[in-house]
Amino acid sequence: MKKDDFCFAGLLLKPTGNKGEVILKFNKDLSKEILKLESILIEVDGKLVPFFIESIKTKSTKTVVVKLDGVDSEDDTNEFIDSNFFIAPENQQVIDLNLDNYYDVVGYVVKDENEELIGSVVDFIDVVNNPLLNVKTKSGEILIPANDDLIIEIDDDDKIIVMHIPQGLLDLS
């Protein structure tokens, strides 16, 4: 398999848990189609090695947690940390974020990293290079940047967004 036949997608960041799960950081924002991704190719000694994905969970707009077939422990994942990974060209759409996907977060609950309730998303505001979440809190509404650096995790099943809320931001409501 030649690298030129595949799309560079990102980097394997670090293991998470003890069952062989690893965090993948993509070089582009992700669409919800990422959950349909079935395999990746990891660069090992200059060659691409295919791995099937057993499970995949969105962590943020650029990161996912995956369990790869045959990678069953933290020691197994450590072998691939900081390795580049690639996807097949027909899967390119899974990493091309369509901002319409963020409109789906209306109604989600926003919590801070300590699991404290901030409020619920009432609107997604598409500002070029600075999309915003309009969040209704106990004391009013507040705009929070929908920035990959602030989003810790998005749980689509429970409709929860866990975010790092910069100090003083909530005082603006």
At 103, is the pLDDT very low, low, confident or very high (cuts 50, 70, 90)? low
Parse the chain into domains and list their residue ranges: 3-95, 100-172
Please say if the pLDDT value at position 31 is more than 90.
Answer: no
In 3D space, the residue among 98, 79, 90, 126 whose CA is nearest the CA of residue 30 turns out to be 98
Question: pLDDT averaged over the chain?
Answer: 84
How far is the CA of 163 from the CAs of 16, 36, 114, in angstroms? 19, 25, 9
Q: Which CATH number fits domain 3-95: 3.30.450.40, 2.60.40.10, 3.30.70.270, 2.40.30.60?
A: 2.40.30.60
Of the candidates 7, 76, 94, the one whose C-alpha atom is nearest the C-alpha of residue 48 is 7
Span 130-141, mean pLDDT?
Answer: 89
Which token pair is 4?
A: 């030129």
Query: d(Cα 166, Cα 117) in Å, to the nearest integer?
Result: 15
State residue 3's pLDDT score: 76
3-state secondary structure of 35: helix
CATH architecture for the domain at 100-172: Roll (2.30)
Residue 15 has pLDDT above 50, yes or no: yes
The reported pLDDT for the residue numbered 111 is 94
- Asked whether the predicted pLDDT for residue 168 surpasses 50, the reply is yes
Per-residue confidence (pLDDT) for residue 100, from 0 to 100: 46
pLDDT for the residue numbered 136 = 93
The pTM is what? Answer: 0.56
Q: How far apart are CA 20 and CA 97, in angstroms?
A: 27
| Predicted local confidence at residue 27, as pLDDT | 80
Residue 98 has pLDDT above 70, yes or no: no
| 42 vs 103, residue with greater confidence | 42
| pLDDT for 173 | 56
Could you give the CA distance from residue 87 to residue 92 in angstroms, rounded to a whole number? 7
